[in-house]
Amino acid sequence: MNRILITGALGQLGSALLKHYHDKGIFVLATDIHECPKGLVYNYEKLDALNFEGLLDVVKKYEINVIYHLAAILSAKGEKNPFHSWKINMDTFQNIVDVSLKCKIERVFWPSSIAVFGKDSNLEYVPQNSLMNPTTLYGVSKLAGEKLMNYYFEKYQLDIRSIRFPGIISMDTKPGGGVTDYIIEMLNASKKGNEYICFLDKNQRLPMIFMEDVISAITLLMSKKRSVLSISSSYNIVGFTTTPEECLLAIKSNGINLKVHYKPDFRQKIANTWPENVDDSLASKDWGWSPKFGLDKTVKIALNG
């Protein structure tokens, strides 16, 4: 039986994974840098993943054998203080690797991102193995993590698994400083009856995925025997692709007359270097990935949730 530790557990992905495993009756320990939120029903330890000794203590104390390392600074926020972002993203990664080797952790999940790609990646439809010249510090740190997970697997057989996530759509937590956050902000504005100022161009196409598909993908990948995985790096996946304008149309088709103003800012420059779509056929072939939620279904659920 698995005993799971999640870092960054109060974030967008962490909260959803926490609920998923808790509801399944699997032991899961949530950790994050914040004080335990009032009324939280999960096992919780306040822990900064930069604190190696603290991490080691918690892993030993709770007899953890699987880690989901989600603590990270995202793309747009990362650009505000690149040195700090590198430290958070890479030193915590190294701590997780070190603790995992010391405590013989069986499996680690670590999310990568479409931010690993860049202008030379055939952005209309990025293959699994593409040229990768990321433009953000976040993208550089994710690419470094991908190289390291391969290295640690070859050198120590440390089983780290990973997915390159597109923009993740969920309504339960606040957006966390990403370029793809516009879609969540637009959906929230629709629910509140506010106007929305979009920081991307109305025709900027980006890949997206609904949270339920994210949870299916992660749990599927983590459930497979290592021998079915043909790469020891990160897999491309996509739910659907959309632009702000298409998203607005989908919102309007639910009877909501949202007004959107377009004022592209520095995030548009980042989006210009990100994929419009990615080829996720290797994930389908190796571990059976297949998305269930398109734009219309996602928008409908998000608006009614």
**Positions that interact with ligand AKB (CB under 6 A):** 74-75, 113-115, 138, 165-167, 178-180
Report the residue number whose CB is nearest to ligand AKB.
Answer: 178
- Residue 289 CB, nearest approach to ligand AKB (Å): 17
The two tokens of residue 61 are: 């104390």
User: Which residue, 138 or 210, is less far from ligand AKB as judged by CB?
Assistant: 138
- Residue 75 CB, nearest approach to ligand AKB (Å): 3
User: Which residue, 21 or 138, is less far from ligand AKB as judged by CB?
Assistant: 138
Kind plus residue range of the DSSP H or E element containing 251: helix 244-252
- Residue 74 CB, nearest approach to ligand AKB (Å): 4
User: Which residue, 95 or 180, is less far from ligand AKB as judged by CB?
Assistant: 180
User: Which residue, 5 or 200, is less far from ligand AKB as judged by CB?
Assistant: 200
Nearest Cα to 293, choosing from 112, 169, 163, 111?
Answer: 169
- Residue 300 CB, nearest approach to ligand AKB (Å): 22
Q: How far apart are CA 55 and CA 48, in angstroms?
A: 8
Does the active-site annotation cover 138? yes
Q: Which of 21, 68, 138, 196 is catalytic?
A: 138
Contacts 24+ apart (CB under 8 A), 253-259: 253/296, 254/299, 254/300, 254/303, 256/190, 256/303, 258/186, 258/189, 258/190, 258/195, 258/196, 259/195, 259/196
Contact 136, 113 (CB under 8 A): no
**Lateral strand order in the sheet of 206-210:** 167-169, 206-210, 240-242
Query: Which residues are catalytic, by number?
Result: 138
